[in-house]
């Protein structure tokens, strides 16, 4: 982190004065990020064939516990890493977003495999979402169909490197205000993002006005 007066006085989020005066922020960041990067808690969550590779990565042969991931948590409230391992269908997206909103901050998302990253071989299907990043902020993408356990380990280590480089003054969970949950998509004839409802209503009204004018 930049230790200049301007950087300390005008951070993205307010840093408590006691930290600014008594703690060297660069050292604090290293300790803080080192502890977080080596104690991530993946959620016990799988969708399709990529989940089998994820299970193999947690087993004795590969054992991602040696990287600090330890055990998978059965509750989203005890997890901070979501590994989306498999095909994301439109029917499943609302549940995935609910689980993400219930996870503890700071939280991260890994898109494991071609299906989670971009829809995979089912991209043109009527029931499959072309990537979970349409609804969740993805931190690491792992290619493959399915990726090997070695690829997942590489993705987890990439996430560790990302965590170790984060800045204390730029972390969204360090803000005074609570982070806003992601609106749960509405499943009807198709999947609707609630954040796009004003645009949908505007387009529908415009289309209706054009039809009335034609009549």
Extents of the domains making up the chain? 41-148, 185-215
- Taken in order 15, 103, 100, 40, the sign of the CA dihedral is positive
177-191 pLDDT per residue, tens: 777 888 898 887 778
The whole-angstrom separation of Cα 85 and Cα 147 is 10
The top-level CATH class assigned to 41-148 is alpha beta
CB distance 143 to 114 below 8 Å = yes
Average pLDDT, the chain: 82
The whole-angstrom separation of Cα 92 and Cα 90 is 5
Average pLDDT over every residue of 52-67: 87
The count of residues in the chain is 215
> Does residue 20 surpass a pLDDT of 80?
no
Give 110's strand partners: 83, 140
Task: Give the ranges where the chain is alpha helix by DSSP (H).
Answer: 5-9, 17-22, 25-37, 50-58, 93-102, 113-118, 149-164, 197-214
Average pLDDT over every residue of 83-93: 92
Residue for token digits 């930049």? 2
pLDDT at residue 100, as a whole number: 94
22-59 pLDDT per residue, tens: 555 567 778 888 888 888 899 988 899 999 999 899 88
CA distances from 164 to 37, 80, 199 (A): 6, 15, 39
Q: Which of 69, 41, 25, 42 is nearest to 171 (CA)?
A: 25
- Taken in order 145, 67, 137, 25, the sign of the CA dihedral is negative
pTM: 0.78
């Amino acid at each position: 982190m930049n230790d200049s007066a301007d950087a300390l006085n005008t951070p993205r989020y307010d840093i408590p004065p006691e930290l600014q005066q008594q703690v060297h922020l660069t050292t604090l960041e290293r300790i803080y990020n080192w502890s977080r990067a080596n104690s991530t808690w993946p959620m016990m969550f799988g969708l399709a064939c990529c989940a089998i590779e994820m299970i193999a990565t947690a087993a004795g042969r590969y054992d991602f516990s040696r990287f600090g991931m330890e055990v998978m948590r059965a509750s989203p409230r005890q997890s901070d890493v979501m590994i989306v391992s498999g095909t994301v269908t439109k029917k499943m997206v609302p549940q995935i977003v609910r689980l993400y909103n219930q996870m503890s901050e700071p939280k991260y998302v890994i898109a494991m495999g071609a299906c989670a990253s971009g829809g995979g071989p089912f991209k043109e299907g009527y029931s499959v979402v072309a990537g979970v990043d349409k609804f969740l902020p993805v931190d690491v993408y792992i290619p493959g169909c399915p990726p090997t356990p070695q690829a997942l380990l590489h993705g987890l280590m990439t996430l560790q490197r990302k965590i170790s480089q984060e800045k204390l003054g730029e972390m969204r969970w360090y803000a005074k205000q609570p982070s806003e949950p992601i609106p749960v998509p509405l499943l009807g004839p198709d999947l609707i993002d609630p954040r796009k409802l004003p645009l949908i209503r505007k387009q529908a009204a415009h289309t209706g006005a054009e039809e009335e004018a034609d009549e």
